[in-house]
A and B are shown apart, each in its own frame.
Chain A
Amino acid sequence: MRIFARRLGVAFLLLWLVLTITFALVRLAPGDAATLLVPPSASAADAARLRAELGLDAPLVVQYARWIGGALRGDLGESYVHARPVAAVLADALPLSLGLGLASLALTFIFGVLVGMVQALRRGRPSDLVLTVATTTMYAAPSFWLALALVAVFTYGAARWGFPPALRLPAFGVRDPAATAGGLAAFMDVVRHAILPVATLALVGAAGVARYARSAVADVLSALWVRAAAAKGVARRRIYFRHVLANAMPPLIVLLALSVPGILAGSVFVESVFAWPGMGRVMLSAIASRDYPVVLGATALYAALVIGANLIADLVLPLLDPRRRA
């Protein structure tokens, strides 16, 4: 319990540091939000008035204190562009991104570990070589390009070459704009819209995980206890799952936490290509319009997700590996 409290304290300290750095980055950048927000015909006095209204005329230190104070109370300020609280803007976008992210994280992990394990078990054989080439190539592919390729095949190509209806997938948005159905039909509509974005993220992610899992499993396979178990006549399947996978799990859990920022970052591109109105789109449009409060809030939220994932990994590890229980 004491360890948990300590970890939590460190996590909050880290979050505060992140907030401070982001604030400094955003506010030290050239460019003035007020001059961008006023209409082109506005006078300098109008801009000055808006600046005062937004609190942008106060010294940076005061602005920083205001913002951190608000953030600690859960108030992230008000968006300049949407004229709504930042928390509300993010709350609209987060579930969509989280849905996309969690689905692709699960697929990434399952497929990545399976492929890596198969490769480790067949190390040096042709199937290992083929899979290595495939994963390394996939790992080198930019996600936005892969997304475009999938759209070209499964949206436009599907229509041109007459794919069965199940393989004709929508490429834009979350719902069919003409759809009025509710309940299960609406859910299935969202799922169909999610297939291509999730597939893009999972393909790139699984390739990275497989590369790592292959070496993690190979390390365990060469351990003496595996040979001992085999000599004792333990069934192969049991060796793989009871002895090998159980011991390869801790590094893989760390990897799961490490791949969270990658999935989050990848979703920025994928959301941009598929017009998926999640955090990535919010972030991009906020940056374009210099909507400082939203940029700060979104970055803080991203960092909180990463720090949270690492915290969970830290807490789960001792459960999987008795040696780590202090």
Chain B
Amino acid sequence: MRRVGWTTRLSLGALGVLALGALMVPELAPTDPRTIGDVLERRLVPPFGYDSTGGWHLLGTDKFGRDIFVRMMLAARLSLLVGIAGSLLAGSVGIALGAMAAWSGGVTDRVTMALADALLAIPRLVLLLVCAALWNPGTTTVVAVLVFTGWMGVARLVRADVLGARAAPYVEAAVALGAPGRRVLWRHVLPNALGSAVVAITLGVGSAILLESGLSFLGLGVQPPQPSWGNMIADGRDLIVIAPWVALAPGLAIIGTVLCCTLLGDALRDTLSGERPVTIGERA
């Protein structure tokens, strides 16, 4: 058993606290963070301030008088969900297509890899914009588009690893013992070819959160009144002079969350494999 590093423990702890807060805070909050109450009494209260009805706001309020901390926690549900679902689904599609390409070879392999190369040649954000903007914007679209634009990297990694594992002596042994092809692939080849894919998926969570926030910032992702860190920053964009905290808090939340995901991915990579897959993912 390898000792777990302090960065891993710190990131896991931080993400755990965030997830807990995302689940609890909006439920316990005295007001619904989506609805707009008495705007004039509550708007633009600075952090740690009281509004004129006596309510205390940890991170202040936005221009409609909604509590930023509660909205941020509600947004965290969405960001975490979109990030994890987007990366995990994209990774699964990538694993399936990569393994299929390597295992069947021939035309399947060529077509899959040509498609992957072509999609990789378009900057991911441009591809995301084209897809997200032309379909109806919304959370489901964001996840679907993240999957459609995110599977290629993992597919390439898995394809290379399956090809490598396929030549290993234990596969030859399994085949010689009469194991059917499907069993060889599932039991012997795939478990040995998933290391770099797992790392890529973990690092992909951070990218997916960043891309979602970017789309929402441009108004093409999560739609108001549903808060998302990206559209909260967009709300604060015109207020950076008079109320900088509106954009500051969600930005710091994104940085912290993505940082934790990156640290976890790095730790996983150091544990699982000596070799490093390319770490330049596309960011927002």
Contacts and interface: CB of A to CB of B under 8 A. Distances in A.
Contacts of A30: 134-136
A316 interface: no
Interface string B157-175: 0000000000000000000
A307 B121 contact: yes
B126 A264 contact: yes
Interface in A237-271: 255, 258-259, 261-262, 264-266, 268-269
A213 B58 CA distance: 40
B280 A148 contact: no
A18 B122 contact: yes
Given A152-B240, A262-B282, A22 B124 contact: no
Contacts of A306: 121-123
Contacts of A22: 122, 130
Nearest to A262: B282
B240 A156 contact: yes
Contacts of A211: 279
Contacts of B210: 140, 142
Contacts of A26: 130, 134
A140 B280 contact: no
Contact of A149 (B217, B251, B263): B251
Contacts of B117: 14, 17
A21 B121 CA distance: 11
Question: Among A25, A136, A145, which residue has the most Cβ atoms of chain B within 10 A?
Answer: A145
A21 B118 contact: yes
Contacts of A261: 122-124, 282
Contacts of B262: 136, 139-140
Given A204-B283, A284-B218, A302 B122 contact: yes
Nearest to B125: A265
B65 interface: no
Contacts of B259: 136-137, 140
A14 B254 contact: no
A20 B194 CA distance: 32
Interface string A182-221: 0000000000000000000000100011011001000000
A141 B251 contact: yes
B280 A269 contact: no
B284 A269 contact: yes
Contacts of B119: 21
Given A14-B121, A139-B283, A262-B283, A144 B217 contact: yes
Nearest to A17: B118
Interface string B102-133: 00000000000011011101111111011101
Interface residues of B, number: 50
A63 to B, nearest CB: 16
A141 B280 contact: no
A299 B122 contact: yes
Q: Which secondary structure characterizes the binding site on chain A?
A: helix
A140 B254 contact: yes
Contacts of A299: 122, 126-127, 130
Contacts of A31: 134
B132 to A, nearest CB: 9
A122 to B, nearest CB: 18
A284 B126 CA distance: 9
A19 B155 CA distance: 22
A325 B241 CA distance: 57
B206 interface: yes
A148 B233 contact: yes
Question: Among B114, B115, B118, B240, which residue has the most Cβ atoms of chain A within 10 A?
Answer: B118
Given A31-B134, A208-B280, A148 B214 contact: no
Nearest to B234: A144
B61 interface: no
Question: Among A140, A149, A295, which residue has the most Cβ atoms of chain B within 10 A?
Answer: A140
A25 B131 contact: yes
B121 A144 contact: no
B129 A145 contact: no
A35 interface: no
A197 to B, nearest CB: 15
Contacts of B244: 152
Interface string A1-27: 000000000000011011001100110
A143 interface: yes
Contacts of B280: 208-209, 212, 255, 258-259, 262
12 contacts: A25-B134, A26-B134, A31-B134, A142-B233, A148-B233, A156-B241, A215-B276, A261-B123, A261-B282, A265-B124, A266-B284, A268-B125
Given A141-B251, A142-B230, 7 more contacts: A21-B122, A136-B263, A144-B233, A148-B240, A215-B276, A264-B123, A287-B130
